[in-house]
Amino acid sequence: MAETTTRAAEPRGFRSAELGWPELRRIPHPPRRLPLLGDVLGVNRATPLQDSLRFARQLGPIYRRKAFNREFVFVWGADLVADLADESRFAKHVGLGVANLRPVAGDGLFTAYNHEPNWQLAHDVLAPGFSREAMEAYHPMMLAVAGRLTDHWDREQAAGRSVDVPGDMTKLTLETIARTGFGHDFGSFERDRPHPFVTAMVGTLTYAQRLNSVPFPALLRRAAQRNADDIAYLNRMVDDLVRARRTAGGDGDLLDRMLETAHPETGERLSPENVRRQVITFLVAGHETTSGALSFALHYLSRHPEVAARARAEVDRVWGSAAVPGYDQVAKLRYVRRVLDESLRLWPTAPAFAREAVQDTVLAGRHPMRRGAWTLVLTPMLQRDPEVWGADAERFDPDRFDPKAVRSRPPHVFKPFGTGARACIGRQFALHEATLVLGLLLRRYELRADPGYRLSVTERLTLMPEGLRLHLERRTGSGATAAPVADPDEAPAASESRCPVSRAGD
């Protein structure tokens, strides 16, 4: 495991680029840079990622931006990102908005510094929670939560109302990770307003984003107090959840692993404080990104009826007249998965990841970097690189993920889950959940877009379509009226077949 450069002291999280890039002057930056303020002309504090994409198109595959006294290097060229994927020379860098989340998530899997021992301990303890056997056990609970979504959508459709796609996908994915991982029910679909957990979570993510755009955190004094209140609420809620589990016991889910499982080699266990941080990490990361991925996919399906028809035909063919799909039937929805992958290509909901040099090196043979220098990879631009994806890279086309097309592309050009040892540990969970839900919704509904809607993307460290609503029509015919089970105990037995599931980090 690679170490950071500041092992003796707490890493600062930020390091201005001129300290780590000896030939920084060779890297282009936006025109009209202002003294003291930097590259602030024409930017919008609410859309820093989309501003970065605009600069990327103007300045090329590597560029820099200065905000007040900090300068950052951005990378998106395929050859540069492929070099950054070299785990012998680069590691995850915790900086920008990720470091801003440490007051709530601490040394959880997503926010831990590389040298902090709890990252490897938690990874080794929790990785079996995403094995094939574990995923099969989650599948009936995913079906049950999806049933609550379709019940809600049926009521909205019958009343002639459109559905709030981002809001309902957030409810769905929150309930899914809460139930499968922690045996908890937030009652999201029974609420008129978001659960207070969601409100507090959005508050902390928004505050972390805002910290990137101000020269002095003291300017956000009131927001800082609200953020402290949000963190206190999240901590209390998780502490209550853990306390109840210790009293009642559980059934082998992620929380049980956190509380009861020792490291297979060292015998170490997660501390109570780290358990809290891991629970918060999974509840936030386990639903926020997947809800965005589903929302973008549903947007594109509604805008491309020919794609939706092809995906729906596959669902009908693969699932047939079965009341509910079995675990193995989800993986057979190969075209539906291509729809999801193409949506993640255009709008990866975790839109950037940072890489840090663990030794003095030269990036792609052209850009010297000192040990500790870091850069931010812009995933949406990497996945729109016309040299890799073609002149029509901005166009939605799921056939880009046909197996032959995938084999023809170089590695490291599709990174919606990050890269290397610290890539998302829950990747298989998210992909199974999202493919299952898309299949269920396509089987049940025709999706009608609002002709006046234009995609607007809201940013709170993760990405989400803003204001997306869809009109629904219930389908008739084979398979169209089949519904998810109301309770996981009623689900069919899982298949006995076995296949490997890739093991990823965080």
Instruction: Find where tokens 């900090």 sit.
Output: 70
Q: Point out the catalytic residue in the list 4, 5, 281, 289.
A: 289
499 part of the active site: no
72 part of the active site: no
**Rounded Cα distance, 419 and 194, in Å:** 32
Nearest alpha carbon to residue 496 among 324, 320, 327, 321: 327
Report the 10 Å Cβ neighbour count for 224.
Answer: 16
Q: Point out the catalytic residue in the list 55, 417, 419, 429.
A: 417
Nearest alpha carbon to residue 227 among 250, 206, 257: 206
Which tokens sit at 162? 């459109």
Q: What does the DSSP assignment read for 441-460?
A: HHHHEEEEE-TT----EEEE
Q: Point out the catalytic residue in the list 150, 170, 424, 435.
A: 424
424 part of the active site: yes
Contacts 24+ apart (CB under 8 A), 181-186: 181/129, 181/253, 181/254, 181/255, 181/282, 181/283, 181/286, 182/241, 182/245, 182/253, 182/254, 182/255, 182/279, 182/282, 182/283, 183/245, 183/250, 183/251, 183/253, 183/255, 184/241
**Rounded Cα distance, 145 and 466, in Å:** 23
**Rounded Cα distance, 338 and 321, in Å:** 23
Which tokens sit at 262? 């020792």
Please tell me what DSSP assigns to residue 34.
B
**Rounded Cα distance, 127 and 115, in Å:** 19
Q: Which one-letter amino acid corresponds to residue 309?
A: A
Catalytic residues: 289, 417, 424
